[in-house]
Every structure is written in C-alpha cells, then in structure tokens.
Amino acid sequence: MSEFTSKKVMVFGGSRGIGAAIVSGFADAGAAVLFTYAGSKPAADALAASTGAVAVQSDAADRASIIAAIRAAGPLDVLVYNAGVLVGGDPLTIDPDAVDRLIDVNIRGPYHAAVEAARTMPDGGRILVIGSVNGDRTPFPGLAAYSMSKSALQGMARGLARDFGSRGITVNIVQPGPTDTDMNPAEGPDAELMHSVMAIKRHGTAEGVAKLVLYLAGPHAGGITGAMHSIDGGFGA
Ligand code: NDP
C-alpha cells in the first residue's frame, strides 16, 4: 500500500513543469490521478501514458469548463490547482486583455475549482493551490498583475480554511520561488537577476515543489491549513 492508494487526486494544469511533477508524484504514490491541460496535448498524452493518469482538456480560464471537469471526475480527495500564467511588463502598455486572462486563470480559476471540489470532497480532504513567492514580495518592476494574482490566493486560503475546517478539509498555498520550467528556465535571461535576491542562488526544481505538495496532501498534514508555504531559496527572506 502506498500513501495515496485509493485516493482520487485532480491537478488543474498538469501537462508541463511543476504540474507534471505533481501528477507524477501522486501517481508514484498510488493515487488515481486526473489532470487538466489547455493547449499542450502532446505533453499531456505523453504524461498520461507514462503515469497512468487521465488527461482532461479543460481551459482554466473558463469557469464552466472547470466546474464540468470536477463534476465529471466525481468526489476528489485532493484538489491541486497549479495552472498559472505570467504576464509581465510595463502596466502602462501591457495588453489589458492579457491581464484579464491572467486574472481568470490565476484567481477566478482556483476559487471556483476549490469551491466546486469542496461540494463533494469527503471529510479530511485537501485543497492546494500553487501560488508564488511574488505573493509576498515583488522585488522587480513589471510584475504587478502577476503578484496581485498570487497575493489574492492568500486571502482565499485563509477564508476557505475557515469555511471548510469543520469538515477537516485543509486549504493551503504552496509558494515557489524561481523554479526551472518552461515559464522560468534556470538558464533564462533573467535568472541571474532573480538569483541576486535569493539566499540560495539557484533555481529550484519542479520535483522539489511536488514533494512539498504531497506532504501537505498527506496524512501528517491534517493540522496545517490557511497557510502559505514558501519553497523559494530564500527569495522572500
Ligand atoms: P509552465 O508554464 O511551465 O506550465 C504551466 C502549466 O499550466 C502547463 O501545464 C499549462 O498547460 C497549464 N496551464 C496554463 N494555463 C492553463 C489553462 N488556461 N488551462 C489549463 N491549464 C493551463 O509553468 P510552471 O510549471 O513554471 O508554473 C506552474 C505554477 O507555478 C503556476 O501557477 C506558476 O505561476 C507557479 N510558479 C512558478 C514559478 C517558476 O519559477 N516556474 C515560480 C512561482 C510560481 P498547457 O501547456 O496545456 O496550457
């Protein structure tokens, strides 16, 4: 028996990067895993084939699509909302439609996913959202909309932790710092700048973030709720 045997886990935004590491981690730990993706069908199909997880095409910017995917999945023991987009740049010239889509994926999506999952989640369930250390700290210009979206998750987690605590359902935010993915490659042009504000001057790994998610979803974390958990190399120190 593995730790998550007989548990059903759904990961929103699981085709690549941190989400894919979370899918693999839960599948390795014995869970029945479903994950959503938006555009990366080849990556999603490959991940499904290698892990046994079920891939579901669903746009996390679309509330109706999120709710339909959760209803189709049935009661979830663990919901992980990882989908996120980064739109950076001068707020005076940035495309306002891109900012609105960021708000849809990064704020509206996790709220509606968490509430819908909680309707049928058994007592003791787990809701986890991938935030960012930028929810606490924004040391560079051009990140206002992204940071706003990740700070919003903090209030959501505190509130939903109170709403669902009587059922033993925990609600937590995992806040990575720079992590080596397509969104933020360890060899990318801004890597050195990011490392300059970190205590440990290197990118973290998607697998490291996934391990923290699995701990918070596991049996020893039942008393951890309404909290933010940074894994950021001291970016926020
Ligand atoms: P990637 O860009 O590498 O991967 C993003 C994942 O989210 C993909 O699987 C993508 O699927 C999915 N996704 C994006 N938009 C949608 C959508 N509308 N509907 C469904 N799925 C969607 O990002 P990371 O792995 O780096 O980031 C994952 C999370 O971690 C995000 O919330 C991000 O903000 C956060 N984070 C990342 C950091 C980093 O340094 N990498 C640092 C701090 C936080 P598809 O390709 O199919 O669209």
Q: Over the stretch 112-150, which tens digit does the pLDDT of each residue have?
A: 999 999 999 999 999 999 999 999 999 999 999 999 999
Give the torsion sign (CA, 115, 30, 228, 12).
Answer: negative
User: Using 50, 70 and 90 to split pLDDT, how confident is the model at 1?
Assistant: low
CB of 16 closer than 6 angstroms to any ligand 1 atom: yes
Q: How far is the CA of 166 from the centre of ligand 1 (A)?
A: 31
Assess whether 215 carries a catalytic annotation: no
Residue 45 above 90 pLDDT? yes
Only one residue has tokens 């839960």, namely 26
Taking alpha carbons only, the member of 143, 205, 152 closest to residue 176 is 205
Residue nearest (by alpha carbon) to ligand 1 atom 33: 84
What does the pLDDT average to over 69-80? 98
Q: How far is the CA of 207 from the centre of ligand 1 (A)?
A: 14
Domain 8-231 has CATH 3.40.50.720: yes
Q: Domain map of the chain by residue range?
A: 8-231
Three-state DSSP state, 174: strand
Residue 59 above 70 pLDDT? yes
Residues 6+ apart with CB under 8 A from 144: 91, 138
What atom of ligand 1 comes closest to residue 104's alpha carbon?
18
Q: Do 220 and 212 contact (CB within 8 A), yes or no?
A: no
Q: How far is the CA of 133 from the centre of ligand 1 (A)?
A: 15
What does the pLDDT average to over 45-57? 98
Residue nearest (by alpha carbon) to ligand 1 atom 23: 183
Which residues sit opposite 33 in a β-bridge?
A: 9
